[in-house]
Amino acid sequence: MEAETTEALRILARVLTRERRKFVLIGATVPQIVLDLRETSGPGSRETRDVDAVAEVDSWEDFNRLREHLVREGFRPGRVAHELWFNDKVRIDLIPFGPGLIKDNKIVWPDGYTMNVSGLAEALECSRDQEVAPDLTLPVVTIPGLVLMKVVAYMDRPEERARDVVDMLYCFERYEATGESSRRFDCTGTQVDGEEITFELAGAFLIGMDVAVLAKPNSLEVVRKFIAGIPDEFARPVSQILSEEKRYVDTEKRRAMLYRLFRVFSAGVNQTG
């Protein structure tokens, strides 16, 4: 993680901790932190200086006070309410979350922008402390929590959020693939659509199981709608991933593999959900 990003996170954490606010890192930096990835390590990876975080607040007035505190500590406001910049290089999207802001499971921003908040409560609940830089440990959403939020964000605006399904794929392919966990081996051989799950596909199955356990009823309903929208290998999420990747010669073989991953993810969700 670059020095400017680390410094921005140190300041953010200092302010939020000082104010005793619960918060969690979400978004594009999470796979790098949790899965110990390099930015150029494969499909789905991307260079980013963007940091997404959720912080608990009581009201819009409370959120504005928090933004003012962060500006005094070295940030500058962005073009929209949730955007903050550090050294004109690092952007932090700070999402407020609290019962005083939510109506019908949505947040309506002062400028009229509407955001589905399904998955945010789960992100705060499932966060785990992770070392993101030397001497800097922060609460970070788990990979199942991240995938849950990616599904919700995608379903909010599927035409604009192709990157979210690419990030889901990134997690499917790498979740619990290394280390001491035997969970991938434990589910290898499980039948999905008449075929056994291989080790390479098992991450998607495990994420599906873990998402189903984590998700609250409203969030799980969104996940099921997402799954129902992938009836075959020509479904929009599959085609969007292929369009983003632009690197496979045999696109039809890749298309079939992507569809298979989503089917295995669906089976994992249905295993426990």
Residue 90: CB atoms within 10 Å: 22
Q: Is residue 116 part of a domain?
A: yes
Q: Is residue 45 part of a domain?
A: yes
Out of 116, 141, 166, a domain closes at 141
pTM recorded for the entire structure: 0.90
Same domain? 122 vs 172? no
Q: Model confidence over 208-266: pLDDT tens digits?
A: 999 999 999 999 999 999 999 999 999 999 999 999 987 776 889 999 999 999 999 99
Out of 91, 108, 141, a domain closes at 141
Residue 8: CB atoms within 10 Å: 25
Please identify which residue in the block is written with the tokens 């001491």.
180
Q: Is residue 186 part of a domain?
A: yes
Listed residue (174, 180, 155) closest to 43, CA to CA:
174
Domain that holds residue 71: 3-141
Q: Please give the share of the chain, as a percent, with pLDDT higher than 90.
A: 71
> What is the count of structural domains for the chain?
2
Residue 47: CB atoms within 10 Å: 9
Q: Model confidence over 62-79: pLDDT tens digits?
A: 999 999 999 999 999 999
Listed residue (20, 174, 149) closest to 93, CA to CA:
149
Residue 185: CB atoms within 10 Å: 11
